Structure 1
C-alpha cells in the first residue's frame, strides 16, 4: 500500500488536498525511489509473459534501421559534412571531407563519448569559420544541463576550458577566436548569452545579453550570410531580437524591435536589410523589410501581406534566392523567391498527407535547396531542388526491408466536431482492411504550443499496423495545422477544444468503421500526455488502452509553482492560475484534479527521472490516484527510466527497447499477444 500524506495547497481561499505530494521529495524521502523501482518491477512482472514478443518487436524495429548508414554530405565552404553510423553503434560519428572525394576526418565519435555512460546527448556543435576548431555541448544526465567543450581539430585535442551550466546554442564570431553561447540560471532557464575568448577561463566571459523575465528563453543564432549574430528572447506569444556584427565581438548590441504582448517576429538578413516575419498585423504573419540601421516600424516595407489561407512559418535568404516556408490546407510548403526578378516558384508535393522540412543547407552561395520528405506510406528521402531548372533530385531514400508503399492506403479526412469545426485527420491502413469496425485503432495527438504533428513516415509504428491496427494522427486545435487561429482556439480559456476535438474525432473514426468504441489505443507525450490525461477523464469507455509518455498531468499545481523551470514561461500557453479565472479553468481540466470513481481504461504512463520539463512525480501521482479511484479491473502501470530525461533513452537502438515494452503492453491489453 502506497503511503498517503495529506498536503494542503491553498489558492484564492480554496484548499486542495494532495495525498501524494511527498513523491517530489526524491532526495529526502527514501520511499520515493522505492516507489519508482517497485512500479518498474510491477510492470516487468505484468509483461513477463511477453519477453519473446518484446524481443520480436525490438528485432522488427531495429531491422528497419540501417546498421551501417550515413547522411548525405552537405557542403559548407571547402568541406563536406556528414554523420555516419557503424554496425551496433548507438550514436552518430560526426565527419567531414576536404572536397567530396577527400579523406575522411572524424570530428566527434558519439560512441566513444558515450562509453561508460547511461545517457548521452550532443546538444549542439559548431565549426569555427577558419575550419580549425569545433565547439560542442554534452548532456550526460538527460536533465538538459550541458557542458561546452572546444576541440582543436588539427591537433585532435581539447582546449583546457570547459564551460558548465550551458544550454545548446553556439555561435562563432568570424575571427574564429571568440564564440558566444547561452547559459542556464538556477531554474534551468536559458537566460543569458555570454562571450568567450579562446584560452581564457570561463569566469572571464562577458555578458552580451540577459533576459530577466521567467517567461522567455534565450538563445543565439547566426545569419545565413554570416554577417550577424542574433540574440533571441522567445516566449509563447512574444519575441525579441537583438543583434551584433559577427565581425566585431566587442561591438555594441542593438535591438531590432522592442517586444510587446502578442507580438512575435523572426529576423533574416540579406544585402544590408533585415527581412522580418511578424504577426503585427495578421495572425498568420506577414513579411516586411527595413535597412539594418533603420529598424523602427516607420521604416518597414511590406514584402508579403498576411493571408487567411497561408500561415507563414519561416523566411531564409541565400545569395540569389530566398525560401519561404508556409502552411496551406494543413500541409507545409516551400516557395522560392528569386532576388533579382522577384519571381516566385512553388515546390509542390504529390501526396494528400506528407511531411517536409528543410535539410542541411549550409552554403549561402548556392543554387540548390535541400529538403527531407516523407509520407505515412513513404519512407524518408533527402531531395534537392534546383532553382534554375526546377528539377528535384533524390539524393537518398530510407531503406526499409520488405516494405512496399503500395500495400497501404493513406487518407486525409476532415471531421466535424461538436462546435462544427472541421478537424484534419491523417490516416494510414493496410490495403484489404475492411472498414467494418472490427480493427483496433491507434490514435495519436499533441495539440499544444502551436506545434503540428506532421503526417510523416513512422517506421516503428509499422509493428502495430502490421498486426492489424489502423493508425490516425488527429490534428486538434492547439496545434497550428490550419494556421495561427487554429492554435489560438486551443489554448488559454479555450484549451478544452483540444480535448474535445480528439475525443470527437476518435468517435467519428469509429463511426466510419476504422474501429469501434472500446477498441482504441491512444498515445501522446508531454503536452500530448496532458491530452491523454484529459481524454482519460472525458471518455474512459471510448479507449481500451492509453499510453501517456512523460505526461503533463498535474497542471494546476505545477502552474502555481514558480520554482519549477518552465512555470513562468508556460503562463502564455495555459494562463497564470494566480488569476482566479485561469485557476478555475485549469482546475476544471487538469487530469490529476479531475479523477473520479469510474472504470478507467488500461493505462501506461512513463517518466524520465532527470526530466526538467515534466517532472517524474506528475505521472507517478496520477497513476497512483487512478489506482485509488478505478472501480474496474483495468491494468494501470507506471515506468520510469532512471537514467534519462524528457526524451527517454538516448541511443538509436536503446530507445527501441522502451518502444518494444510499450507496444507489448498495448498488444497484451488488446489480447493480441
Structure 2
C-alpha cells in the first residue's frame, strides 16, 4: 500500500528542494517476496503506478531542485555546449524523397521547428501537399510523438497514431487528406503499427493490454464505427511474446508476427482477405524467422541450421508446407551475421555484419552476390526507405564516427553507386577527425571491437580524457555515426569510444548468447576491460574516464559502478534498468514477461541468484562511487521511474566519498526523454557539462 506524506516528511523534502542539501528519501522497510527468498526494500514506497503520490512527487522535485542548484555554476558551459550543438544542425533540412503507390513522400524541417512537416508530391518537382504539421500538432503538449503513418490504397485517406504522454500508449486518428476532416479518432491504447486492408475502408491495429501494455490483440476496425464493433482477428495468449503487424514489400499480404527472445511465429493473409491467415511455420523454442514477399516468392530469414541466420525461399504454393518446403538462398556462415533483408522482384538486398561492421550485400536471381564497398575501418551501412518492389536499385545509408550519414542508391545490375544526399553538418569538417577500429582483449581472451574517434593531432601520451559508451543487451548492436552533440566534446580533446561488448550482435548471434542470461556479466567485464585496454594503450588518462549507458545500458553503468568504481571519474546513466530482480518478479510491469529469456525468470533459483549477484540496486555498498548523473522520465513505460529513484536514494544513504550524485526526472517524458529535435540536445548539454567539469576539461 502507498504511504502518503506526513507533514514533517514533506517539510524535510522542502528544505532539500531549496537546493541546500542533497535530498534524503525516508527508509520504510518493505518485504519483496519471491519463491527463492524475501528481500527488504527500504525505498519500495517510491513506486506509485498512478504517479500522484504527493510525497513521491515532492522527492523527485527535490532532486530536480538539488540538481538545479549543483548545476547552476555550470549553466554557462551547458548553454555554450547547446549553442555549439545547434550550430551543427541544418535547421531547414529535408529527407530524400521516396516513391510509394504513385506519390513521392518527404519530411521537412523549418528553422526553429522541433518537429518535421510531412509532405507528398505527385512528381518530385510538383507542389507539395501537406500531410502533417507536427509543430502545430504538438502545441499544448509537453510530449508529442507521431507513429509511422499509413495511406489508404486509393491515396485519399491517411491513418496515424500519436502519443502525447510518452508512455507509448498510442491513439488512432484518421483523416481525409484533401479536406483535412477527421474521420475517426476513437481508439486508444494501441501499438503504433496500422495496416489498411484492400478496400481502404477498414484497417488492422494492435491493441495493448491495459496493465502490462503488451500488444496482444489484432483487431479489424471499420472506419466510422465504435471500438465496441471491432472484430478480433488474432489474440496472442502467451505473455512472453510481443506482437507486430505490417505489409509485405509488394503490398500483397498482411502479416502478423509474434516474437519472443528465442522464438518467432508469422501468419500472413492476402491484403483483401484479412481473416484468412496462414502460419508460415509453427513456433518452437530456439527457432526464429521472419518472412517477406516480392517477385512471386517468399524470402525468409531463419536460424534453422544457421546460428548466424541464412535466407531461404518458398513459392506461394508451398507456403503451407512449413520448413520442409524451404530452399536455401544463402549458406550458413560463422563469420557473417545476417541482420535483415529486403526482397525486390529481381534481387534481394541483405543487411549483414562481418568483422564488427554492418554492411550491405546484393543477391541476384542467378545466385551471385556482391558486397557494397566501404572505405573506412569502422563504419555502418543500413537499408534506407525502399517502398517499391519493382525497383532495380536499392537505397542505403553509410556513415561512421567521422563521416556524416550519406544516402546512396546502388544499381543491383551494374553495381554503380550514386550519392543522393550527404546529411549536412554545418561547421563540421570530417578531415579534422580520425576514426579507428581497435580490438581490446577481454579477461577470458575474447577480442572486443572498439570504435574510436578523436580530433586529428591528438597525442597518444596517456593524458587525454575519454568518453566511453556501450549498450550490450537484447542483441542490439551499436553502430558508429556522427552526432552533432558529440562534436563539442571532440573539439575539447575528448576521445569518444564505443565498446561493442557482448550482449549485442556486432560479431554474430554467439556474441549475444555470450552476453545474456547466465552470461550477462560478460557485458560488464567487457566494458571494464575495454576501459583498461584504452588506458594501457595511452589512448586516455586513467583518472579522466567517463562512461555512459541508457536503459539496459544503464544497468551496465550500475553494475560497472559496483564492480570497478575506481576505473571511472564520472558516469551518466539514463533511464537505467537497475532493480533487476524486483522488476523481473513482477509480471504486471510492462516488458517483464517478454524478457525472461533475456535476463532469466527469478522464480527459478539459478536465475534469481545470478541476477541478484549483479543487480545494481541490490549491490550498492558503502564505498566511494564515481561522480554520477542519473536521468529518468516520470512516464517511462520501459524502465519505470522508480527504479532509478530508488537506486539514487540508496546510493545517497550508503555511498562514501564526496563525488557528486545528481538525479534529473523529466516530469513530462517517457523512455526516450523529451520529444522534439532540440529538446534532447538541451538535456544532453546539461550532463555533458557535468561530465566535462568532472574530467577537468577547461573552457565554456
Structure 2-normalised TM-score?
A: 0.94
Instruction: Look up the match of 1:267.
Output: 291
Is the counterpart of residue 163 in structure 1 residue 187 in structure 2?
A: yes
Tell me: CA distance 1:140–1:671, structure 2 relative to 1, closer, same or farther (3 Å): same
Q: Which of 361, 368, 372 is the aligned partner of 2:397?
A: 372
Cα deviation for residue 161 of structure 1 reads: 4.0
- Aligned residues of 2:294 and 2:389 also touching (Cα < 8 A): no
**Tell me, what secondary structure is at the counterpart of 1:163?**
coil
Tell me: CA distance 1:635–1:394, structure 2 relative to 1, closer, same or farther (3 Å): same
Instruction: Look up the match of 1:20.
Output: 43
Q: Which of 652, 660, 672 is the aligned partner of 1:635?
A: 660
**Tell me, what secondary structure is at the counterpart of 2:329?**
strand
Q: How many residues align?
A: 671
Is the counterpart of residue 427 in structure 1 residue 456 in structure 2?
A: no
Instruction: Look up the match of 2:346.
Output: 320
Alignment of 1:556-567 (within 5 A): 556-567=581-592
Cα deviation for residue 517 of structure 1 reads: 2.2
User: More deviation in 305-314 or 609-618?
Assistant: 305-314
Distance 2:75 2:518 in 1: 45
**Tell me, what secondary structure is at the counterpart of 2:321?**
coil
Alignment of 1:1-16 (within 5 A): 1-16=24-39
Instruction: Look up the match of 2:21.
Output: none
Is the counterpart of residue 257 in structure 1 residue 281 in structure 2?
A: yes
Is the counterpart of residue 658 in structure 1 residue 683 in structure 2?
A: yes
Distance 1:245 1:649 in 2: 39
Instruction: Look up the match of 1:571.
Output: 596
Instruction: Look up the match of 2:203.
Output: 179
Is the counterpart of residue 141 in structure 1 residue 165 in structure 2?
A: yes
Alignment of 1:103-118 (within 5 A): 103-118=127-142
Cα deviation for residue 349 of structure 1 reads: 1.2
Cα deviation for residue 13 of structure 1 reads: 5.0
Is the counterpart of residue 335 in structure 1 residue 361 in structure 2?
A: yes
User: More deviation in 69-78 or 484-493?
Assistant: 69-78
Instruction: Look up the match of 2:20.
Output: none
Is the counterpart of residue 397 in structure 1 residue 422 in structure 2?
A: yes
- Aligned residues of 1:599 and 1:632 also touching (Cα < 8 A): yes
Distance 1:345 1:585 in 2: 45
**Tell me, what secondary structure is at the counterpart of 2:149?**
strand
- Aligned residues of 1:136 and 1:150 also touching (Cα < 8 A): yes
- Aligned residues of 2:36 and 2:603 also touching (Cα < 8 A): no
- Aligned residues of 1:161 and 1:202 also touching (Cα < 8 A): no
Instruction: Look up the match of 2:323.
Output: 297
Is the counterpart of residue 61 in structure 1 residue 89 in structure 2?
A: no
Cα deviation for residue 191 of structure 1 reads: 0.9
Cα deviation for residue 642 of structure 1 reads: 0.3
Cα deviation for residue 655 of structure 1 reads: 1.4
- Aligned residues of 1:519 and 1:542 also touching (Cα < 8 A): no
Cα deviation for residue 459 of structure 1 reads: 2.1
Cα deviation for residue 28 of structure 1 reads: 5.9
Q: Which of 155, 176, 180 is the aligned partner of 1:131?
A: 155
Instruction: Look up the match of 1:486.
Output: 511
**Tell me, what secondary structure is at the counterpart of 1:3?**
coil
Instruction: Look up the match of 2:543.
Output: 518
Cα deviation for residue 285 of structure 1 reads: 1.1
Instruction: Look up the match of 1:77.
Output: 101
Q: Which of 307, 332, 336 is the aligned partner of 2:333?
A: 307
**Tell me, what secondary structure is at the counterpart of 1:480?**
coil
- Aligned residues of 1:171 and 1:221 also touching (Cα < 8 A): yes
Segments of 5+ residues of structure 2 without an aligned counterpart are 1-23
Cα deviation for residue 430 of structure 1 reads: 1.1
Cα deviation for residue 27 of structure 1 reads: 4.3
Distance 2:303 2:254 in 1: 23
Distance 2:480 2:165 in 1: 31
Runs of 4+ in 1 over 6 A off after TM superposition: none
User: More deviation in 641-650 or 284-293?
Assistant: 284-293
Distance 1:135 1:160 in 2: 9
- Aligned residues of 2:571 and 2:627 also touching (Cα < 8 A): yes
User: More deviation in 481-490 or 49-58?
Assistant: 49-58
**Tell me, what secondary structure is at the counterpart of 2:59?**
helix
Cα deviation for residue 664 of structure 1 reads: 1.2
Distance 2:434 2:36 in 1: 55
Instruction: Look up the match of 2:483.
Output: 458
**Can you list the C-alpha shifts for 1:643-666, whole angstroms capped at 9, x where unaligned?**
000000101111111011111111
Instruction: Look up the match of 1:437.
Output: 462
Instruction: Look up the match of 1:357.
Output: 382
Alignment of 1:243-254 (within 5 A): 243-249=268-274, 251-254=275-278
Distance 1:296 1:376 in 2: 43
Is the counterpart of residue 585 in structure 1 residue 605 in structure 2?
A: no
- Aligned residues of 1:208 and 1:253 also touching (Cα < 8 A): no
- Aligned residues of 1:609 and 1:640 also touching (Cα < 8 A): yes
Segments of 5+ residues of structure 1 without an aligned counterpart are none
Cα deviation for residue 616 of structure 1 reads: 0.6
User: More deviation in 568-577 or 328-337?
Assistant: 328-337
Q: Which of 146, 151, 154 is the aligned partner of 2:175?
A: 151
Q: Which has the higher strand share?
A: 1
- Aligned residues of 1:161 and 1:201 also touching (Cα < 8 A): no
Instruction: Look up the match of 1:382.
Output: 407
Is the counterpart of residue 542 in structure 1 residue 606 in structure 2?
A: no
Distance 1:370 1:273 in 2: 22
- Aligned residues of 1:520 and 1:544 also touching (Cα < 8 A): yes
Is the counterpart of residue 611 in structure 1 residue 636 in structure 2?
A: yes
User: More deviation in 153-162 or 208-217?
Assistant: 153-162
**Can you list the C-alpha shifts for 1:168-216, whole angstroms capped at 9, x where unaligned?**
1111122212211111012101111111122222221111111111111
Distance 1:486 1:592 in 2: 26
Distance 2:87 2:339 in 1: 36
Is the counterpart of residue 94 in structure 1 residue 118 in structure 2?
A: yes
Tell me: CA distance 1:154–1:429, structure 2 relative to 1, closer, same or farther (3 Å): same
Distance 1:172 1:479 in 2: 34
Cα deviation for residue 436 of structure 1 reads: 1.0
User: More deviation in 289-298 or 224-233?
Assistant: 289-298
